[in-house]
Structure 1
Protein backbone atom coordinates (compact mmCIF):
# COMPACT_ATOMS: atom_id res chain seq x y z
CA UNK A 1 0.00 0.00 0.00
CA UNK A 2 1.34 3.41 -0.98
CA UNK A 3 1.32 6.01 1.80
CA UNK A 4 -0.25 9.44 1.38
CA UNK A 5 3.21 11.01 1.44
CA UNK A 6 4.33 8.74 -1.39
CA UNK A 7 1.25 9.63 -3.42
CA UNK A 8 1.89 13.32 -2.94
CA UNK A 9 5.55 12.89 -3.86
CA UNK A 10 4.62 11.00 -7.04
CA UNK A 11 2.11 13.67 -8.05
CA UNK A 12 4.45 16.59 -7.42
CA UNK A 13 7.30 14.79 -9.22
CA UNK A 14 5.13 14.24 -12.30
CA UNK A 15 4.04 17.89 -12.36
CA UNK A 16 7.61 19.09 -11.85
CA UNK A 17 9.04 16.84 -14.58
CA UNK A 18 6.42 18.07 -17.03
CA UNK A 19 7.09 21.76 -16.36
CA UNK A 20 10.87 21.21 -16.53
CA UNK A 21 10.66 19.70 -20.02
CA UNK A 22 10.72 21.80 -23.19
CA UNK A 23 7.25 21.08 -24.54
CA UNK A 24 6.61 23.20 -27.63
CA UNK A 25 3.66 25.53 -27.22
CA UNK A 26 3.26 25.04 -23.47
CA UNK A 27 4.53 26.81 -20.38
CA UNK A 28 7.84 25.35 -19.17
CA UNK A 29 10.99 26.47 -17.42
CA UNK A 30 12.60 27.37 -20.74
CA UNK A 31 9.87 29.92 -21.54
CA UNK A 32 6.61 31.15 -20.03
CA UNK A 33 3.64 31.73 -22.26
CA UNK A 34 -0.10 32.38 -22.61
CA UNK A 35 0.04 34.85 -19.71
CA UNK A 36 1.12 32.10 -17.33
CA UNK A 37 4.44 31.22 -15.71
CA UNK A 38 6.24 28.04 -14.77
CA UNK A 39 6.18 29.20 -11.15
CA UNK A 40 2.37 29.26 -11.20
CA UNK A 41 2.27 25.65 -12.37
CA UNK A 42 4.69 24.53 -9.68
CA UNK A 43 2.68 26.36 -7.02
CA UNK A 44 -0.48 24.74 -8.37
CA UNK A 45 1.11 21.31 -8.01
CA UNK A 46 2.12 22.01 -4.44
CA UNK A 47 -1.27 23.25 -3.26
CA UNK A 48 -3.33 20.62 -5.10
CA UNK A 49 -1.30 17.63 -3.89
CA UNK A 50 -2.85 17.33 -0.42
CA UNK A 51 -6.53 17.41 -1.47
CA UNK A 52 -5.87 15.02 -4.34
CA UNK A 53 -4.22 12.52 -2.00
CA UNK A 54 -6.72 12.57 0.88
CA UNK A 55 -7.17 8.85 1.74
CA UNK A 56 -10.60 7.46 0.96
CA UNK A 57 -11.95 10.74 -0.36
CA UNK A 58 -14.31 10.41 -3.35
CA UNK A 59 -12.76 11.28 -6.69
CA UNK A 60 -15.09 14.17 -7.33
CA UNK A 61 -14.39 15.77 -3.97
CA UNK A 62 -10.64 15.43 -4.55
CA UNK A 63 -10.98 17.28 -7.84
CA UNK A 64 -13.16 20.06 -6.46
CA UNK A 65 -10.91 20.63 -3.42
CA UNK A 66 -7.79 20.65 -5.61
CA UNK A 67 -9.27 23.23 -7.99
CA UNK A 68 -10.39 25.42 -5.10
CA UNK A 69 -6.89 25.31 -3.63
CA UNK A 70 -5.39 26.17 -7.01
CA UNK A 71 -7.71 29.11 -7.59
CA UNK A 72 -6.90 30.49 -4.16
CA UNK A 73 -3.16 30.20 -4.82
CA UNK A 74 -2.77 31.38 -8.42
CA UNK A 75 -6.20 32.77 -9.43
CA UNK A 76 -6.11 31.15 -12.87
CA UNK A 77 -6.73 27.79 -14.51
CA UNK A 78 -3.34 26.12 -14.58
CA UNK A 79 -4.25 22.51 -13.85
CA UNK A 80 -7.87 21.51 -14.45
CA UNK A 81 -6.93 18.80 -16.95
CA UNK A 82 -4.09 17.57 -14.77
CA UNK A 83 -6.36 17.32 -11.73
CA UNK A 84 -9.13 15.57 -13.67
CA UNK A 85 -6.67 12.93 -14.85
CA UNK A 86 -4.66 12.62 -11.65
CA UNK A 87 -7.49 12.09 -9.16
CA UNK A 88 -8.63 8.67 -10.46
CA UNK A 89 -5.02 7.49 -10.76
CA UNK A 90 -4.24 8.46 -7.19
CA UNK A 91 -7.45 6.82 -5.94
CA UNK A 92 -6.52 3.68 -7.88
CA UNK A 93 -3.09 3.57 -6.26
CA UNK A 94 -4.74 3.45 -2.84
CA UNK A 95 -6.55 0.22 -3.68
CA UNK A 96 -5.07 -3.18 -2.78
CA UNK A 97 -2.93 -4.93 -5.37
CA UNK A 98 -0.12 -3.88 -7.71
CA UNK A 99 -2.13 -3.58 -10.98
CA UNK A 100 -2.71 0.15 -11.32
CA UNK A 101 -4.60 -0.17 -14.60
CA UNK A 102 -7.03 -2.74 -13.21
CA UNK A 103 -7.54 -0.68 -10.07
CA UNK A 104 -8.17 2.38 -12.21
CA UNK A 105 -10.94 0.61 -14.13
CA UNK A 106 -12.63 -0.17 -10.81
CA UNK A 107 -12.37 3.45 -9.68
CA UNK A 108 -13.84 4.74 -12.95
CA UNK A 109 -16.68 2.21 -12.93
CA UNK A 110 -17.73 3.32 -9.45
CA UNK A 111 -17.97 7.05 -10.16
CA UNK A 112 -21.47 8.29 -9.33
CA UNK A 113 -23.78 11.31 -9.37
CA UNK A 114 -22.04 12.86 -6.37
CA UNK A 115 -18.75 12.69 -8.27
CA UNK A 116 -20.44 14.31 -11.27
CA UNK A 117 -21.80 17.17 -9.14
CA UNK A 118 -18.39 17.85 -7.59
CA UNK A 119 -16.56 17.68 -10.92
CA UNK A 120 -19.10 19.93 -12.62
CA UNK A 121 -18.54 22.47 -9.85
CA UNK A 122 -14.78 22.18 -10.25
CA UNK A 123 -14.94 22.69 -14.01
CA UNK A 124 -17.26 25.67 -13.66
CA UNK A 125 -14.88 27.19 -11.10
CA UNK A 126 -11.81 26.66 -13.28
CA UNK A 127 -13.29 27.29 -16.71
CA UNK A 128 -17.07 27.78 -17.01
CA UNK A 129 -18.63 25.60 -19.68
CA UNK A 130 -15.42 23.63 -20.22
CA UNK A 131 -17.22 20.31 -20.14
CA UNK A 132 -20.78 19.36 -20.82
CA UNK A 133 -23.43 19.41 -23.50
CA UNK A 134 -26.73 21.19 -23.90
CA UNK A 135 -28.17 18.41 -21.76
CA UNK A 136 -25.41 18.50 -19.15
CA UNK A 137 -24.08 22.01 -18.64
CA UNK A 138 -21.49 22.11 -15.87
CA UNK A 139 -23.15 25.19 -14.39
CA UNK A 140 -26.25 23.12 -13.60
CA UNK A 141 -26.82 20.04 -11.43
CA UNK A 142 -25.87 16.89 -13.34
CA UNK A 143 -28.63 14.69 -14.72
CA UNK A 144 -26.34 11.73 -15.33
CA UNK A 145 -23.32 10.13 -13.65
CA UNK A 146 -19.78 11.34 -14.22
CA UNK A 147 -18.76 8.48 -16.52
CA UNK A 148 -21.82 9.05 -18.72
CA UNK A 149 -21.06 12.78 -18.84
CA UNK A 150 -17.50 12.03 -19.88
CA UNK A 151 -18.79 9.64 -22.55
CA UNK A 152 -20.90 12.44 -24.03
CA UNK A 153 -17.80 14.66 -24.27
CA UNK A 154 -15.33 11.94 -25.31
CA UNK A 155 -15.55 12.56 -29.05
CA UNK A 156 -14.28 16.12 -28.64
CA UNK A 157 -12.19 15.96 -25.47
CA UNK A 158 -9.19 13.68 -24.93
CA UNK A 159 -9.41 13.95 -21.15
CA UNK A 160 -13.04 12.85 -21.14
CA UNK A 161 -12.16 10.00 -23.49
CA UNK A 162 -9.59 8.72 -20.99
CA UNK A 163 -12.34 8.19 -18.43
CA UNK A 164 -14.29 6.14 -20.97
CA UNK A 165 -11.35 4.12 -22.33
CA UNK A 166 -9.65 3.37 -19.01
CA UNK A 167 -6.82 5.79 -19.85
CA UNK A 168 -5.96 3.95 -23.04
CA UNK A 169 -3.84 6.76 -24.47
CA UNK A 170 -1.96 7.13 -21.19
CA UNK A 171 -1.01 3.48 -20.92
CA UNK A 172 -0.68 2.53 -24.60
CA UNK A 173 0.74 5.70 -26.17
CA UNK A 174 2.35 7.71 -23.39
CA UNK A 175 3.94 4.94 -21.36
CA UNK A 176 5.08 3.19 -24.54
CA UNK A 177 6.90 6.39 -25.56
CA UNK A 178 8.40 6.73 -22.08
CA UNK A 179 9.67 3.14 -22.10
CA UNK A 180 11.11 3.48 -25.60
CA UNK A 181 12.95 6.65 -24.62
CA UNK A 182 14.41 5.23 -21.42
CA UNK A 183 15.38 1.97 -23.11
CA UNK A 184 17.52 3.85 -25.62
CA UNK A 185 19.29 5.65 -22.78
CA UNK A 186 17.41 8.95 -22.67
CA UNK A 187 17.51 10.77 -19.34
CA UNK A 188 16.73 14.15 -17.83
CA UNK A 189 13.85 15.86 -19.59
CA UNK A 190 14.03 13.76 -22.75
CA UNK A 191 11.69 10.88 -21.78
CA UNK A 192 9.11 13.53 -20.86
CA UNK A 193 9.65 15.28 -24.19
CA UNK A 194 9.19 11.94 -25.95
CA UNK A 195 5.87 11.38 -24.17
CA UNK A 196 4.61 14.86 -25.00
CA UNK A 197 5.64 14.65 -28.65
CA UNK A 198 3.96 11.24 -28.92
CA UNK A 199 0.65 12.70 -27.72
CA UNK A 200 1.01 15.80 -29.88
CA UNK A 201 1.85 13.66 -32.95
CA UNK A 202 -0.80 10.99 -32.45
CA UNK A 203 -3.89 13.02 -31.51
CA UNK A 204 -5.32 16.41 -32.47
CA UNK A 205 -4.97 18.39 -29.26
CA UNK A 206 -8.40 19.02 -27.69
CA UNK A 207 -7.46 22.40 -26.24
CA UNK A 208 -6.16 23.60 -29.59
CA UNK A 209 -9.31 22.34 -31.32
CA UNK A 210 -11.58 24.15 -28.85
CA UNK A 211 -9.75 27.47 -29.23
CA UNK A 212 -8.71 27.39 -32.89
CA UNK A 213 -10.75 24.69 -34.60
CA UNK A 214 -10.13 21.15 -35.81
CA UNK A 215 -8.21 22.24 -38.90
CA UNK A 216 -5.62 24.07 -36.82
CA UNK A 217 -5.38 21.13 -34.41
CA UNK A 218 -4.76 18.83 -37.37
CA UNK A 219 -2.08 21.19 -38.72
CA UNK A 220 -0.32 21.21 -35.33
CA UNK A 221 -0.43 17.42 -35.26
CA UNK A 222 1.18 17.21 -38.69
CA UNK A 223 3.86 19.72 -37.74
CA UNK A 224 4.54 17.80 -34.53
CA UNK A 225 5.06 14.63 -36.54
CA UNK A 226 7.61 16.41 -38.73
CA UNK A 227 9.44 17.81 -35.72
CA UNK A 228 9.37 14.46 -33.91
CA UNK A 229 10.87 12.73 -36.94
CA UNK A 230 13.61 15.32 -37.19
CA UNK A 231 14.23 15.13 -33.45
CA UNK A 232 14.79 11.39 -33.66
CA UNK A 233 17.67 11.94 -36.07
CA UNK A 234 19.50 14.44 -33.89
CA UNK A 235 21.97 13.86 -31.09
CA UNK A 236 23.20 16.24 -28.44
CA UNK A 237 21.10 18.42 -26.20
CA UNK A 238 21.98 21.71 -27.88
CA UNK A 239 20.72 20.81 -31.35
CA UNK A 240 17.58 19.13 -30.02
CA UNK A 241 16.78 22.08 -27.75
CA UNK A 242 17.25 24.43 -30.69
CA UNK A 243 14.74 22.47 -32.79
CA UNK A 244 12.15 22.35 -30.01
CA UNK A 245 12.66 26.02 -29.14
CA UNK A 246 11.92 27.07 -32.69
CA UNK A 247 8.74 24.96 -32.74
CA UNK A 248 7.81 26.46 -29.37
CA UNK A 249 8.20 29.98 -30.73
CA UNK A 250 6.11 29.26 -33.81
CA UNK A 251 3.24 27.89 -31.77
CA UNK A 252 3.28 30.66 -29.17
CA UNK A 253 3.48 33.34 -31.85
CA UNK A 254 0.11 32.01 -33.08
CA UNK A 255 -1.31 31.77 -29.57
CA UNK A 256 -1.44 27.98 -29.79
CA UNK A 257 -1.15 26.05 -26.54
CA UNK A 258 -1.46 22.24 -26.80
CA UNK A 259 -2.57 22.06 -23.19
CA UNK A 260 -4.30 18.70 -23.42
CA UNK A 261 -1.10 17.02 -24.59
CA UNK A 262 0.66 18.51 -21.57
CA UNK A 263 -2.08 17.27 -19.22
CA UNK A 264 -1.83 13.78 -20.69
CA UNK A 265 1.93 13.94 -20.21
CA UNK A 266 1.56 14.63 -16.48
CA UNK A 267 -0.89 11.73 -16.17
CA UNK A 268 1.55 9.42 -17.96
CA UNK A 269 4.42 10.42 -15.70
CA UNK A 270 2.19 9.99 -12.66
CA UNK A 271 1.08 6.56 -13.84
CA UNK A 272 4.69 5.55 -14.33
CA UNK A 273 5.69 6.81 -10.88
CA UNK A 274 2.78 5.10 -9.16
CA UNK A 275 3.39 1.82 -10.99
CA UNK A 276 7.02 1.85 -9.86
CA UNK A 277 5.97 2.38 -6.27
CA UNK A 278 3.34 -0.39 -6.47
CA UNK A 279 5.73 -2.94 -7.98
Structure 2
Protein backbone atom coordinates (compact mmCIF):
# COMPACT_ATOMS: atom_id res chain seq x y z
CA UNK A 1 0.00 0.00 0.00
CA UNK A 2 1.30 3.44 -0.88
CA UNK A 3 2.93 5.14 2.07
CA UNK A 4 3.05 1.96 4.14
CA UNK A 5 6.58 1.02 3.13
CA UNK A 6 9.48 1.67 5.46
CA UNK A 7 10.99 5.14 5.51
CA UNK A 8 14.02 5.50 3.22
CA UNK A 9 17.26 4.18 4.69
CA UNK A 10 19.03 6.68 6.88
CA UNK A 11 15.96 8.75 7.85
CA UNK A 12 16.22 9.86 11.46
CA UNK A 13 13.27 8.98 13.67
CA UNK A 14 10.75 11.79 14.00
CA UNK A 15 7.22 11.76 15.32
CA UNK A 16 4.49 10.77 12.86
CA UNK A 17 2.81 14.17 12.88
CA UNK A 18 6.02 15.87 11.80
CA UNK A 19 6.42 13.45 8.88
CA UNK A 20 2.84 14.00 7.79
CA UNK A 21 3.26 17.77 8.05
CA UNK A 22 6.27 17.57 5.76
CA UNK A 23 4.38 15.38 3.30
CA UNK A 24 1.44 17.79 3.27
CA UNK A 25 3.72 20.79 2.77
CA UNK A 26 5.57 19.00 -0.01
CA UNK A 27 2.31 18.14 -1.73
CA UNK A 28 1.16 21.77 -1.70
CA UNK A 29 4.57 22.95 -2.91
CA UNK A 30 4.49 20.41 -5.75
CA UNK A 31 1.04 21.54 -6.84
CA UNK A 32 2.12 25.17 -6.76
CA UNK A 33 5.25 24.46 -8.82
CA UNK A 34 3.18 22.57 -11.40
CA UNK A 35 0.66 25.42 -11.54
CA UNK A 36 3.47 27.86 -12.29
CA UNK A 37 4.60 25.58 -15.08
CA UNK A 38 1.49 26.42 -17.13
CA UNK A 39 0.92 29.96 -15.83
CA UNK A 40 4.14 31.18 -17.40
CA UNK A 41 4.53 31.37 -21.17
CA UNK A 42 7.59 29.25 -21.87
CA UNK A 43 8.20 29.23 -25.61
CA UNK A 44 7.75 25.81 -27.16
CA UNK A 45 5.90 24.47 -24.10
CA UNK A 46 2.23 24.27 -23.27
CA UNK A 47 0.85 27.13 -21.17
CA UNK A 48 -2.51 28.67 -20.36
CA UNK A 49 -1.79 31.23 -23.07
CA UNK A 50 -0.74 28.70 -25.69
CA UNK A 51 -1.57 25.00 -26.16
CA UNK A 52 0.68 22.86 -28.31
CA UNK A 53 1.94 19.41 -29.26
CA UNK A 54 -1.60 18.05 -29.02
CA UNK A 55 -1.93 19.11 -25.37
CA UNK A 56 -3.51 21.90 -23.36
CA UNK A 57 -2.83 23.40 -19.94
CA UNK A 58 -5.74 21.40 -18.52
CA UNK A 59 -3.87 18.16 -19.22
CA UNK A 60 -0.98 19.38 -17.09
CA UNK A 61 -3.24 20.56 -14.29
CA UNK A 62 -5.04 17.22 -14.20
CA UNK A 63 -1.82 15.22 -14.18
CA UNK A 64 -0.38 17.36 -11.36
CA UNK A 65 -3.52 16.88 -9.26
CA UNK A 66 -3.38 13.13 -9.81
CA UNK A 67 0.35 12.84 -9.06
CA UNK A 68 0.46 15.12 -6.00
CA UNK A 69 -0.55 12.61 -3.32
CA UNK A 70 1.58 9.64 -4.43
CA UNK A 71 4.70 11.69 -5.13
CA UNK A 72 4.57 13.23 -1.64
CA UNK A 73 3.46 10.12 0.27
CA UNK A 74 5.14 10.02 3.68
CA UNK A 75 7.68 7.23 4.01
CA UNK A 76 7.42 6.05 0.40
CA UNK A 77 10.50 5.00 -1.54
CA UNK A 78 11.56 7.21 -4.44
CA UNK A 79 10.78 4.51 -6.99
CA UNK A 80 7.35 3.97 -5.51
CA UNK A 81 6.63 7.70 -5.63
CA UNK A 82 7.63 7.80 -9.28
CA UNK A 83 5.70 4.75 -10.41
CA UNK A 84 2.43 5.48 -8.65
CA UNK A 85 2.51 9.18 -9.54
CA UNK A 86 3.13 8.50 -13.23
CA UNK A 87 0.43 5.84 -13.31
CA UNK A 88 -2.07 8.21 -11.67
CA UNK A 89 -1.20 11.00 -14.10
CA UNK A 90 -1.51 8.67 -17.08
CA UNK A 91 -4.91 7.47 -15.93
CA UNK A 92 -6.04 11.09 -15.58
CA UNK A 93 -4.86 12.31 -18.99
CA UNK A 94 -3.80 9.31 -21.15
CA UNK A 95 -0.76 11.26 -22.31
CA UNK A 96 2.75 11.94 -21.02
CA UNK A 97 2.62 15.35 -19.41
CA UNK A 98 4.83 14.99 -16.35
CA UNK A 99 7.25 12.03 -16.43
CA UNK A 100 10.29 14.32 -16.27
CA UNK A 101 8.68 16.44 -13.56
CA UNK A 102 7.98 13.37 -11.44
CA UNK A 103 11.47 11.94 -11.96
CA UNK A 104 13.02 15.21 -10.77
CA UNK A 105 10.62 16.04 -7.96
CA UNK A 106 10.31 12.64 -6.26
CA UNK A 107 13.89 12.69 -4.84
CA UNK A 108 13.47 16.34 -3.78
CA UNK A 109 10.33 15.52 -1.81
CA UNK A 110 12.00 12.50 -0.22
CA UNK A 111 14.93 14.73 0.74
CA UNK A 112 12.59 17.30 2.27
CA UNK A 113 11.07 14.54 4.36
CA UNK A 114 14.53 13.92 5.78
CA UNK A 115 15.54 17.51 6.53
CA UNK A 116 12.22 19.33 6.93
CA UNK A 117 13.65 22.47 5.37
CA UNK A 118 16.45 22.80 7.92
CA UNK A 119 19.60 24.35 6.50
CA UNK A 120 17.96 25.99 3.50
CA UNK A 121 19.25 25.09 0.05
CA UNK A 122 22.42 23.47 1.37
CA UNK A 123 20.46 21.36 3.82
CA UNK A 124 18.07 20.18 1.14
CA UNK A 125 20.90 19.44 -1.24
CA UNK A 126 22.76 17.43 1.40
CA UNK A 127 19.61 15.42 2.16
CA UNK A 128 19.08 14.93 -1.57
CA UNK A 129 22.55 13.45 -1.93
CA UNK A 130 21.72 10.95 0.81
CA UNK A 131 18.50 10.03 -0.99
CA UNK A 132 20.29 9.56 -4.32
CA UNK A 133 23.01 7.44 -2.75
CA UNK A 134 20.39 5.16 -1.19
CA UNK A 135 18.54 4.42 -4.45
CA UNK A 136 18.60 0.71 -5.23
CA UNK A 137 17.46 -1.78 -7.85
CA UNK A 138 13.89 -1.77 -6.55
CA UNK A 139 13.75 1.97 -7.12
CA UNK A 140 15.15 1.40 -10.60
CA UNK A 141 12.58 -1.26 -11.45
CA UNK A 142 9.71 0.96 -10.31
CA UNK A 143 11.05 3.94 -12.27
CA UNK A 144 11.54 1.79 -15.39
CA UNK A 145 7.92 0.66 -15.18
CA UNK A 146 6.86 4.31 -14.98
CA UNK A 147 8.98 5.25 -18.01
CA UNK A 148 7.60 2.32 -20.00
CA UNK A 149 4.05 3.45 -19.19
CA UNK A 150 4.66 7.09 -20.10
CA UNK A 151 6.48 6.23 -23.36
CA UNK A 152 8.42 9.51 -23.74
CA UNK A 153 9.19 10.55 -27.29
CA UNK A 154 12.57 9.92 -28.87
CA UNK A 155 13.74 7.53 -26.16
CA UNK A 156 15.45 5.04 -28.50
CA UNK A 157 17.44 2.04 -27.27
CA UNK A 158 20.39 1.87 -24.89
CA UNK A 159 23.22 -0.70 -25.06
CA UNK A 160 22.97 -1.39 -21.31
CA UNK A 161 20.12 -1.16 -18.77
CA UNK A 162 17.60 -0.25 -21.48
CA UNK A 163 14.21 0.77 -20.12
CA UNK A 164 12.55 -2.02 -22.12
CA UNK A 165 14.27 -4.56 -19.86
CA UNK A 166 14.31 -5.07 -16.09
CA UNK A 167 17.28 -3.20 -14.59
CA UNK A 168 19.95 -4.98 -12.58
CA UNK A 169 21.55 -1.89 -11.00
CA UNK A 170 20.33 0.86 -8.69
CA UNK A 171 18.41 3.80 -10.06
CA UNK A 172 21.29 6.25 -9.71
CA UNK A 173 23.64 3.87 -11.54
CA UNK A 174 21.06 3.39 -14.29
CA UNK A 175 20.64 7.15 -14.61
CA UNK A 176 24.41 7.58 -14.84
CA UNK A 177 24.42 5.33 -17.90
CA UNK A 178 21.89 7.66 -19.56
CA UNK A 179 23.36 10.95 -18.33
CA UNK A 180 25.23 11.69 -21.57
CA UNK A 181 21.94 11.87 -23.50
CA UNK A 182 19.40 12.96 -20.89
CA UNK A 183 19.74 16.02 -18.65
CA UNK A 184 17.30 14.65 -16.06
CA UNK A 185 19.42 11.53 -15.70
CA UNK A 186 22.44 13.84 -15.43
CA UNK A 187 20.88 15.47 -12.37
CA UNK A 188 20.65 12.08 -10.65
CA UNK A 189 24.29 11.36 -11.37
CA UNK A 190 25.64 14.72 -10.22
CA UNK A 191 23.27 15.81 -7.43
CA UNK A 192 21.07 18.34 -9.28
CA UNK A 193 23.65 21.05 -10.06
CA UNK A 194 21.44 22.58 -12.75
CA UNK A 195 18.59 22.95 -10.28
CA UNK A 196 20.62 24.40 -7.41
CA UNK A 197 23.44 26.09 -9.31
CA UNK A 198 21.75 27.58 -12.37
CA UNK A 199 18.00 27.52 -11.92
CA UNK A 200 17.46 28.39 -8.27
CA UNK A 201 19.57 31.61 -8.29
CA UNK A 202 17.75 32.77 -11.43
CA UNK A 203 14.35 32.02 -9.92
CA UNK A 204 15.10 33.81 -6.67
CA UNK A 205 16.60 36.83 -8.46
CA UNK A 206 13.46 37.28 -10.57
CA UNK A 207 10.88 36.40 -7.93
CA UNK A 208 10.26 40.00 -6.87
CA UNK A 209 8.64 40.53 -10.28
CA UNK A 210 6.18 37.70 -9.62
CA UNK A 211 6.40 33.93 -9.48
CA UNK A 212 5.24 33.36 -13.06
CA UNK A 213 7.85 35.76 -14.41
CA UNK A 214 10.48 34.07 -12.24
CA UNK A 215 9.48 30.75 -13.80
CA UNK A 216 9.75 32.26 -17.26
CA UNK A 217 13.16 33.78 -16.55
CA UNK A 218 14.43 30.47 -15.17
CA UNK A 219 13.22 28.65 -18.28
CA UNK A 220 15.11 31.08 -20.49
CA UNK A 221 18.27 30.61 -18.42
CA UNK A 222 18.10 26.86 -19.04
CA UNK A 223 17.13 27.19 -22.68
CA UNK A 224 19.95 29.64 -23.48
CA UNK A 225 22.59 27.67 -21.59
CA UNK A 226 21.94 23.95 -22.22
CA UNK A 227 20.96 21.87 -25.25
CA UNK A 228 17.49 20.70 -24.31
CA UNK A 229 17.77 16.90 -24.23
CA UNK A 230 14.16 16.38 -25.33
CA UNK A 231 14.89 18.39 -28.49
CA UNK A 232 18.21 16.58 -28.96
CA UNK A 233 16.54 13.15 -28.77
CA UNK A 234 13.87 14.05 -31.31
CA UNK A 235 15.62 16.49 -33.64
CA UNK A 236 19.37 16.28 -33.05
CA UNK A 237 22.08 18.32 -31.40
CA UNK A 238 22.35 20.95 -34.16
CA UNK A 239 18.69 21.91 -33.82
CA UNK A 240 19.01 22.11 -30.04
CA UNK A 241 21.94 24.50 -30.40
CA UNK A 242 19.93 26.65 -32.81
CA UNK A 243 17.30 27.01 -30.09
CA UNK A 244 20.03 28.03 -27.64
CA UNK A 245 20.95 30.83 -30.02
CA UNK A 246 17.35 31.95 -30.35
CA UNK A 247 16.87 31.95 -26.58
CA UNK A 248 19.93 34.07 -25.76
CA UNK A 249 18.29 37.34 -26.81
CA UNK A 250 15.21 36.68 -24.68
CA UNK A 251 17.29 35.59 -21.70
CA UNK A 252 19.12 38.92 -21.70
CA UNK A 253 15.85 40.83 -21.83
CA UNK A 254 14.45 38.75 -18.97
CA UNK A 255 17.58 39.48 -16.92
CA UNK A 256 16.91 43.20 -17.42
CA UNK A 257 13.43 42.72 -16.00
CA UNK A 258 11.55 43.41 -19.23
CA UNK A 259 7.96 42.18 -19.48
CA UNK A 260 8.32 39.75 -22.37
CA UNK A 261 4.65 38.87 -22.55
CA UNK A 262 3.96 42.41 -23.79
CA UNK A 263 6.07 41.79 -26.89
CA UNK A 264 4.18 40.09 -29.77
CA UNK A 265 7.51 38.72 -31.01
CA UNK A 266 7.83 36.60 -27.87
CA UNK A 267 4.46 34.94 -28.50
CA UNK A 268 5.41 34.52 -32.16
CA UNK A 269 8.61 32.71 -31.15
CA UNK A 270 6.54 30.44 -28.90
CA UNK A 271 4.19 29.57 -31.73
CA UNK A 272 7.07 29.21 -34.17
CA UNK A 273 8.78 26.61 -32.00
CA UNK A 274 5.54 24.65 -31.77
CA UNK A 275 5.01 24.89 -35.52
CA UNK A 276 8.45 23.26 -35.91
CA UNK A 277 7.46 20.59 -33.34
CA UNK A 278 10.23 21.79 -31.01
CA UNK A 279 9.32 21.22 -27.37
CA UNK A 280 11.99 22.16 -24.79
CA UNK A 281 10.43 19.73 -22.34
CA UNK A 282 13.55 19.05 -20.31
CA UNK A 283 14.06 22.75 -19.65
CA UNK A 284 10.45 23.03 -18.49
CA UNK A 285 10.80 20.01 -16.21
CA UNK A 286 13.90 21.50 -14.63
CA UNK A 287 11.94 24.71 -13.97
CA UNK A 288 9.30 22.81 -11.99
CA UNK A 289 12.06 21.21 -9.91
CA UNK A 290 13.53 24.67 -9.29
CA UNK A 291 10.19 26.11 -8.18
CA UNK A 292 9.67 23.14 -5.87
CA UNK A 293 13.19 23.51 -4.43
CA UNK A 294 12.57 27.22 -3.84
CA UNK A 295 9.53 26.42 -1.72
CA UNK A 296 11.18 23.53 0.14
CA UNK A 297 14.33 25.47 1.00
CA UNK A 298 12.28 28.20 2.68
CA UNK A 299 9.80 25.81 4.24
CA UNK A 300 8.17 26.15 7.59
CA UNK A 301 5.33 23.62 7.63
CA UNK A 302 3.46 25.53 10.34
CA UNK A 303 3.30 28.69 8.21
CA UNK A 304 4.05 27.74 4.58
CA UNK A 305 5.37 30.18 2.05
CA UNK A 306 4.91 29.58 -1.64
CA UNK A 307 6.85 32.40 -3.28
Tell me by how many angstroms 1:277 deviates. 0.8
* 2:113 counterpart residue number: 94
Per-residue Cα deviation, 1:34-57 (whole angstroms, up to 9, x for no partner): 001100000000000011011111
Matched, 1:217 2:240: yes
TM-score, with structure 1 as normaliser = 0.94
Distance 1:238 1:133 in 2: 40
Tell me by how many angstroms 1:132 deviates. 6.5
4+ residue segments displaced more than 3 Å:
128-132, 230-238
Q: In 2, are the aligned partners of 1:123 and 1:131 still within 8 Å (CA)?
A: no
* 1:263 counterpart residue number: 285
Does the C-alpha gap of structure 1 residues 188 and 136 become closer, same or farther in structure 2, counting only changes over 3 Å?
Answer: closer
Does the C-alpha gap of structure 1 residues 233 and 109 become closer, same or farther in structure 2, counting only changes over 3 Å?
Answer: closer
Aligned counterpart in structure 1 of residue 226 of structure 2, from 192, 199, 203: 203
Distance 2:296 2:67 in 1: 17
Aligned counterpart in structure 2 of residue 113 of structure 1, from 137, 140, 144: 137
Where does the alignment leave 5 or more consecutive residues of structure 2 unmatched? 1-17, 302-307
* 1:27 counterpart residue number: 46
User: Which secondary structure does the structure 2 equivalent of 1:163 belong to?
Assistant: helix
Aligned counterpart in structure 1 of residue 187 of structure 2, from 144, 162, 165: 162
Matched, 1:173 2:198: yes
* 1:228 counterpart residue number: 251
Count of aligned residue pairs for this structure pair: 276
Tell me by how many angstroms 1:244 deviates. 2.3
Tell me by how many angstroms 1:234 deviates. 6.7
Q: In 2, are the aligned partners of 1:23 and 1:244 still within 8 Å (CA)?
A: no
What does 1:127-166 correspond to in 2, within 5 Å? 127=151, 130=155, 133-166=158-191
Q: In 1, are the aligned partners of 2:261 and 2:267 still within 8 Å (CA)?
A: no
Tell me by how many angstroms 1:188 deviates. 4.2
Tell me by how many angstroms 1:192 deviates. 0.7
Q: In 2, are the aligned partners of 1:132 and 1:149 still within 8 Å (CA)?
A: no
User: Which secondary structure does the structure 2 equivalent of 1:94 belong to?
Assistant: helix
Distance 1:39 1:119 in 2: 25
User: Which secondary structure does the structure 2 equivalent of 1:25 belong to?
Assistant: coil
Per-residue Cα deviation, 1:131-186 (whole angstroms, up to 9, x for no partner): 8622211121102111111111111110000001110000010001112213xx31
Tell me by how many angstroms 1:18 deviates. 1.2
Per-residue Cα deviation, 1:74-127 (whole angstroms, up to 9, x for no partner): 001000000000100000000035111110000000000000110111101101
User: Which secondary structure does the structure 1 equivalent of 2:40 belong to?
Assistant: coil
Q: In 2, are the aligned partners of 1:153 and 1:160 still within 8 Å (CA)?
A: yes
Q: In 1, are the aligned partners of 2:41 and 2:48 still within 8 Å (CA)?
A: yes
Distance 2:266 2:126 in 1: 36
* 1:76 counterpart residue number: 95
Does the C-alpha gap of structure 1 residues 237 and 203 become closer, same or farther in structure 2, counting only changes over 3 Å?
Answer: closer
